[in-house]
Amino acid sequence: MKLESLPAGAAASNVHAPSGTHVLADLSGIDAEKLSNCAALETLLRGAAEAAGAHVLFSHFHAFGAGQGVTGVVLLAESHITIHTWPERNFAAADIFMCGSAQPELALALIRKALQPGAAHVHTSRRGPP
């Protein structure tokens, strides 16, 4: 569990409208070893958040045991990134929601580069009031 503070002045200068981009990615055909390493997945998602221009507030990841899946969340000032993995199925589900100037597509690009899925189904939605 890692807790961080925002850079000085970030909270005051980054006033966000209640809208953002929500990316859901089903990633399959991933090597099982990449889906059961809790520390590596946490490092990957924290790096993905930074690559997207988001500010990490907190992260928590849980491994379900040797060779088993991982569930994790990176809480962002701009919202969140989560991942749930099933190494026995070579599958990961990622959820990336970011507001403001953060770019969730950049986060997903980094995740895809690292996990190298054989296939990906990605759904992107704009969120917020009409």
Catalytic positions: 79, 84, 99
Cβ count near 110 (within 10 Å): 17
Q: Where are the alpha helices (DSSP H) in the chain?
A: 10-13, 32-35, 38-51, 104-115
Tokens of 42: 């946490």
- 8-state DSSP, 65: S
- The widest CA-to-CA distance across the chain, in whole angstroms, is 46
Cβ count near 20 (within 10 Å): 19
Rounded CA Rg of the chain: 15
